[in-house]
Structure 1
Amino acid sequence: MLTTSEEDYLKALYTLTEWDDTEVSTGVLADQLGLSPASVTSMIQKLAGKGLVSHVPRKTVALSPSGRREALRMVRRHRLIETFLRDELGYGWDEVHDEAEALEHTVSDRFINALDARLGHPQHDPHGDAIPSADGTLPVSEAIRLDRFSGDRAIIDRISDEDPEFLRRAAIQGLVPGALIRLPHQLNFIEASLIWVRNAHSK
């Protein structure tokens, strides 16, 4: 049985590498969680002792296969709850993240599976992020960040939920998953780095 903090660490490690295949240091993880490097190092040592992460002291930390399974279990909870809050309770897509952060630790896997069925087994959350299946599988995405895209037309796949204010502006501009965006766009570098797209000309 994992603690809430342990679940948060594993989920944070997963989300840091989900869209950018980069190594994660304890310092980067500390920034993501808003904690001191010393606190993060202590928890990473505990997770390593449970076989949930691999850790090179003063360098990198990565999920082990069992750690990835636990992380995906939490990601599944989070994204299904976000979808429920939007579809069933009328929350805005800029409001669901913080609520899901609190609720994901309080419900059972049975509840989450029932929620999944109630929602019709959605494939993506309100921001376009794929929802892991009950067995932890995820569809492969070929989306890339908009600031790295070189085509002339793109379809939005997902938008990062880390900035609620940007989500509100994006919704007003029609920048939502599934929408067509033409280049050159009028977004600044930071905004473009929060959007992932695929080529509109590809099938």
Structure 2
Amino acid sequence: MKFITEDDLRILFRKEPFTSYDLLEGTRLTPGARQFLVDKKISFLDDPMAVKRKTVKPEVKKEETKQEMKDQRFLLKKKTLQAQFLEAGLSFMERDVLLAEQVFDLERRLSFVGKESPDEENAFESCTGFDKEDFHKPFSDCFEITGFHAQSEKGREIVLLHRLRCSVRELAAEAEDENFNPVINRLSQMICLAYGGKACQRK
């Protein structure tokens, strides 16, 4: 009688993962090997749960893996986006400390996307284009950014804010997540203020 140990199974699993294990004639599992198969949810002949576990289709696990990979890509892209906000904030520090602080605040709020933030309701100020009730709704740009705006007095600020807004909107569309809308709308407010002062530019 040959006993299959936990180490034997681990070596096999590392070479090629499996979802079921058939004992050869004249072999038995050690308690450790049996526990390894149970922990890995691998069905084997003398496992009373074998029939139930075999009904799980491998495709389901593949779909779960795809979703996990999608979630991981989203988190990585959001981290990259947050880094862009930090970079823009540092650039603004030289010319407009208040604007830099607002960009740093938006970067912090990006980390709460999809989560509840205790001060979320008071996070943004109302203006003639947005109010607190519709700040979570999707809006188009207040006005199209062109080379004309880039050459204005605060052209650098406008272009950097517009770039951040485009990046946020792109990630929001990919993730199909409306929780990014307040950040997008706040950036639109900041662009309006940089170009037209207190005058609303929304058409």
Taking structure 1 as the reference length, the TM-score comes to 0.24
Greater fraction of residues in helix: 2
Greater fraction of residues in strand: 1
Is the radius of gyration larger for structure 1 or structure 2?
2
